[in-house]
Structures are given as C-alpha cells and as structure tokens.
Structure 1
Amino acid sequence: MSTRLISPTAGADLGRPGTMARYTYTYKTVDEIHLLMDVYLPRVSSSKSQQHATQASPHGEPPIVIYFHGGGLTVGNKDSWFPHWLHGRLTAAGCAFASVEYRLLPPSTGHDILVDVKDAFHFVSHELNVKLLQSQGDDSSEPAQARPRVDIGRIAVCGTSSGGLCAYLAAMHASPRPTALLSMYGMGGHMLTPHYLMPKSEVFFRGRELLDPARFNEYLYPHCRNLLVTINSPLAYHPATSPTPGYPANPRMQLARLYFQLGTYLDYYTGHHEPSLSAIVREAFSAASDPGRAVEVDVLSTLIPTDSLPLFPQAFLSGSKAGSWPATFLVHGTADTAVHADESRSLDLLLQRAGVEVTLRLVEGKEHSFDYADDAEDTFGGKGGLYDEAADFLCRHLGISL
C-alpha cells in the first residue's frame, strides 16, 4: 500500500487508440429499454502479453476490464467521458475493454444501479463469449485460438467519478468479484459528509453559480417519481450562437450538482425521501461536538436504513467481508470541488485497515475530470507517468504486461 502526492509533469503523446473490433450488446432489458455494453477486443497482442495470457488460460483469451462512466449517477451513457487514455493502453497490451450503461437517478436509485452492476458482471462471465462467437458466426472448424473470446477468470473494474462508486459496488457485490479496481476521483469513499448533506448558500462547485431549483422541478421529489426510467442521457451543450454558449443543454448534467447544493443527494441515491435520509443524518451533525467533521463510520448502522447499507462502501469495509475487496488503485485531484479528495483518502485508510492492497495517488492542484483536459496526455502520459502506472496496475493483476 502506498500514497504519493503527484505534481504534473510533461510527457509524450501516446495518441488515441486506432480502429479495432467493437461489439455492442444488450446485457439486460428494463421496462423494454435496452441497457447496452460496448466490448472492445484488443487491437494488438504483443508476444509478451500473449505469453502471459496463454499461461493464464488454455487458448490465450484476453482478460477484460469493465468500465462505468461518470455523471453523478444522473447523466451519461457508454460513450460519455470515455477514458481514451486507459482504453488505448489496455487494448494495446492485449486486454479487452467493456463500457457499460446503467440506470440513472432519478427515478431509479442506487438499488437499481447496484442490480445493473451485478447484471453486467453476470453477462460478461456467463453470456459474453457466446455472444462474441455468434457475432463472428459459429464455425466449429475455425481454430479455437481464432475465435473471439475473453478470459472470464480475469476481470477487473474501473470507473470515473460516480463510475468509481459503481466500481466499488462491483467490488462489494458482483459475481465474480473483480481481480483489481481502478477509481478515478470516485464517489463513495465517504458519503456522510457536509458536502453531501448540508444545503449550500455559497458557490461550491468550480466557481459556478448556484442553481435555481424551480428550473428543475420535474427532477425534484415527489415529481421525479413520474419520470420514465432513463439509461441513455448523452451530454449536450448550447451552441456558439446561443446566449449561453457551452452551457449544458441537458438538464440532467446539472442534477447531481443541484442535489449536492440542496443537501439531498443521499435521498435520491437511496430512495429514502420520507423521511428524508439526508435530514436524519444532518441532525447528527447538529448534535456533534464538531459539526464540520464527517459522521463517523460506526453511525452507519444506526442512521442508514438496513436495506441501504449495501450501497455504502464504508459500511462494507467495516464488516467481516472487508478482506474480500480487490486490490485497488485510487487517483484523485487535490483541488476537486465535485468529489472531494478526502473521499479517496478515507477509502484508502479503510482499505489499509482491512489489509487490502491499495495505492493512492493524489494529483496536486487538479480539479475533477482533470484527465479529460486537452493537454492531459502530454501532462500524465509520459513513459512511467500516472497513466502508465494506473494501466500497469490493472495489467499486472490481470497477468499481462503493459
């Protein structure tokens, strides 16, 4: 286990990944809506990575990394905030890569998302290889090594922002359990904090204005119960000719920020609005000797309804099954105003106490989503840099070489 503060340094441009085989599958259907998964097979396979793969599986099938997108759990799809830097490195190393959609808040809750995460893993481990074979045509005369497959015994998981929380849910509940986990500024390390629970009266996110709740009435409880189940909610911005160029045109892009502003995010995450879970936990702050501190983990069992405890990583890591959590690599910018770096710091400590292999990399002065900046590859993509280290962590635990 290790923690290191990283100062951004210049690096070489690795470039975007080239053309490769991509397969899109429906991994489940909810209310006649298809939840999709894009699967990318490796674009190259070096002799070294092939050697490692062959040692781990009889036909040299590649391992696979399952990726969950960010968006506060309220917006996005399998193409949103796609991590090209990670995808390119993994597929070049001989690893398959899957990008997964899941139900969004609201009207869905974290309970629904947990089911989607589990179902995505079940699809990969029980159905994906059959689907891949069908996609190519079932030619039994074709050599087994030439048929598209993945090694279902080597699955890792990663996510950015709220996708990091999805990755944590997989670490807690998915079957099979992932071998390794990469979280980029993930939510969920500690959700009982003022950032989640306290109403905001001053600017708190990237210097942007406070939102007018009246503009989002249909997304507020109880009106949000009338919304249709939403899975695919792409990013959209006002055009340059608009009075507000570049401003989000999809209202879902601002929902998580609004719920943080109102101090009610946990209500939408757990589905506990009546009574408001956020209000209940907020009262614990008022009674605390130091209201500015996060509520301690041991109050989870008394404040969080039993049915929602499985949605909180810190509850899992305080229990008897904590040691089953996979090896974990955490990355977080120290200046993150959307998901505070203390979430990853807190998770790092909990994992250390549970005896789990964990690495925390704090990136000095960086905001949320820093890896999507135009110069991010130049800054973090040099040989042996942060990107290589994160990708190598996954590769190492999957038995291949970057």
Structure 2
Amino acid sequence: MTPQPLTTIYKEINSSKISVDIYLPPRNASNNHTYPVLINIHGGAFMLGHSRMVSMAQIDDCLARGWIVVVPNHRLCPGADLLNGPMADLRDFIAWIYSGNLEGFLQEEVKKEYRVDTDRVMAFGTSSGGFLALALGFDTPHPPAAILNFYGAVHFAHPFWRKPLPHVQANLPRAGFEPAFLQKVYDEYPIPTTSGISLEGQAQQSNKPDFSRPRDAFALTQIANGTVLDAIFPAGAGRLEDIDPVSRVTSSFPPTFIVHGDSDRMVPVELSRKLFEVLKGNKVECEMVEVEGEDHTFALGMEIGGKTWNTSRKGFEWLEGIIQ
C-alpha cells in the first residue's frame, strides 16, 4: 500500500502556493546511501488535474526500486500560458531539488536521514506531464539525468492539433456553453494549481467532468474543438517551435524513453514516432515502446501484472539502467 506522502510548498508566486507530494522508499540502513529521485508529473491537458491524480501502482513500483518519488503541482493554464506557468514552475521545481531544498526539507521532517542523489534525478510524466518532463531537457541549466515520457503532447506543427475530436465532442452538451461561462476561468485568482479532474482514469466515477464548473467545461471544449494550443499558448506568448521538444532536441538532450498506446485518439502515436525519429537523428540515447490496443491515459487503469503493465514498465526498468 502506498505510504502517505509528505507535502510542502516549493514555490509561491502571485499568491499561488505550489505544493509537492513526497513519497519515501524504505530507508536503507547504510549511512552512506543516497536516493535517486523521480519527478512524476500529472496529466490534464495543462488545464486540469493535480498531484494525487497519478498512478499509485507506479509510485509503489518506483519506491520498491529505492527511489524517492516527488509529485509536483503547477499552475494551470489558461490563467498563465504554458511557458510562463507550467513550464516555469517545473523548471523552478527541479532547481529546488538541485539546490538542496528537498534534502533540507526531509532532514527537518523525517527523523531518519534521507540523502538525495542529485546526480540521479529523473523526470517522468503522462500526457501533458510527459511534455513537461521533456521540457526539462532544454533551456534548463541542470536537466534531469533521464526522461520517461508516457504519451506526451509533442509535435505541435502537426495538423492534428487543430482538428476537432468528435469522440470528445460527443460527451459535451449539444448546445455547448455560454462564452461568458467559459471565460470565468480567466477570472480565477490566484491561478489554481489543482482542479477536480484530470484526463487520466476517466472510467472512474470520481474523475468525471462536472460541467457546472467553468474549468471542466472550458478544458473539454478546447480539446473537443481542436483549440487547446490557442488556450494554453495564445498569440503573443511566443513561437510554438521554441517550446516543442520535437524542435528543441539536440545531441545534448537527456536519455529518453517513450511509452505510447498505438490506438491513442487524444495524442496520436505518430507524434511520438516523430519525436523518437528526432531523438535518434541527434544520436540521443533513446527507446520507444508502443502499447498494443491502448488509447490515451491508460496509466491509471492498468492491471498490475497485465500485458499493458508489463509493456509500459519497461520504461522504468530502462530508467533504472540509465542511473546505475
């Protein structure tokens, strides 16, 4: 059973207090032992979700490997654009770790010492969190040692990102929503760092959208209409190619593993194939597995020991090999 996390604030900006959940593995008896750190970033199309909406089974698996798992929140779009909100927060978060703040917090809160191995900090995320993990690989003074990306949003030049998604539209009210109702997300202050749903585990009743909430309605409307990029990175925020990992990979990019379902309707697998092609072209150490029959956001619904679990788990085994 997953232990209860410790929680602390790693950043405060314009009254938004941004927290991180910290899960600790069983303590090694050696006084010289240091612990690798996995940054686990939640999904939610950059507009939804929070740190408790991640796979606890995956956290347990990582704790069994002797890793500290940290699950940060970040400010949600559209109150802040992608670059100056989520990306900035995650870059500040990894700097918080490298600056000794994680270890300092643990020394104060945990009587048994946990020393952080800052040479073995890894980044992992699902969907939008996969993008944010990849975004730590460029324009970051001290990138992670390795990145694991589950079906992350990439390759923004692809025409898919401007296409409506009929299977999402089918779940919205036929009449849509009043524009004034949707615009209420821009009035939220401070900018929220959590929302009631993510896009992971939509089969769970507790994670169904509530269209009486402007944020749920706004986010699902953007996804359905093919306007997510306009919502999270509006005109004037910058150039999409400057933040797209497909455009920013160089030979110095961290080793990267990609996991993607071959039946994904929210982020088609061909987008990850393009990223993989670019990684290989730049001679970055990389691998990719395609999970047969899986649509988007399968991480929370996996059966431990099942085919999807075993296939996707190869990513964590690969991380373990990289940091040894």
The residue aligned with 2:134 is 168
The residue aligned with 1:120 is 93
Q: 4+ runs of 1 displaced by more than 6 Å?
A: none
The residue aligned with 1:19 is 3
The residue aligned with 1:191 is 156
The residue aligned with 1:379 is 306
Count of matched residue positions in the alignment of Structure 1 and Structure 2: 314
Taking only aligned residues, the RMSD between alpha carbons, in angstroms, comes to 2.8
1:254 Cα offset (Å): 4.9
Percent identity of paired positions between Structure 1 and Structure 2: 23
8 Å CA contact retained: 2:8, 2:20 = yes
1:127-153, CA deviations, whole angstroms, 9 ceiling, x for partnerless residues? 11111111136xxxxxxxx51221112
1:381 Cα offset (Å): 6.9
The residue aligned with 2:143 is 177
Mapping for residues 137-216 of structure 1, pairs under 5 Å = 146-188=112-154, 190-198=155-163, 200=164, 203-205=166-168, 208-209=171-172, 212-215=175-178
1:5-42, CA deviations, whole angstroms, 9 ceiling, x for partnerless residues? xxxxxxxxxxxx4436x321100002222100111121
8 Å CA contact retained: 1:205, 1:337 = no
Cα distance in 1 for partners of 2:195, 2:172 equals: 23
8 Å CA contact retained: 1:183, 1:331 = yes
Calculate the TM-score normalised by the size of structure 1.
Answer: 0.71
1:397 Cα offset (Å): 1.5
Cα distance in 1 for partners of 2:120, 2:136 equals: 14
- The 1:235–1:246 alpha-carbon spacing in structure 2 relative to 1, beyond 3 Å, is closer
1:233 Cα offset (Å): 1.2
Helix, strand or coil for the counterpart of 1:114? helix
1:170 Cα offset (Å): 0.9
1:59 Cα offset (Å): 2.1
8 Å CA contact retained: 1:107, 1:225 = yes
1:315 Cα offset (Å): 2.0
8 Å CA contact retained: 1:25, 1:38 = yes
The residue aligned with 2:42 is 69
8 Å CA contact retained: 1:86, 1:387 = no
Calculate the TM-score normalised by the size of structure 2.
Answer: 0.86
Question: Which AA in structure 2 matches 1:313?
Answer: P
- The 1:338–1:28 alpha-carbon spacing in structure 2 relative to 1, beyond 3 Å, is same
The residue aligned with 2:201 is none
Comparing both chains, which one has the higher relative contact order based on Cα–Cα distances under 8 Å and sequence gaps of 6 or more?
1
Cα distance in 1 for partners of 2:41, 2:207 equals: 25
Listed as ranges, the gaps of 5+ residues in structure 1 are: 1-16, 138-145, 237-243, 278-304
8 Å CA contact retained: 2:2, 2:59 = no
8 Å CA contact retained: 1:118, 1:170 = yes
Deviating more after overlay: 174-183 vs 348-357: 174-183
Listed as ranges, the gaps of 5+ residues in structure 2 are: 199-204
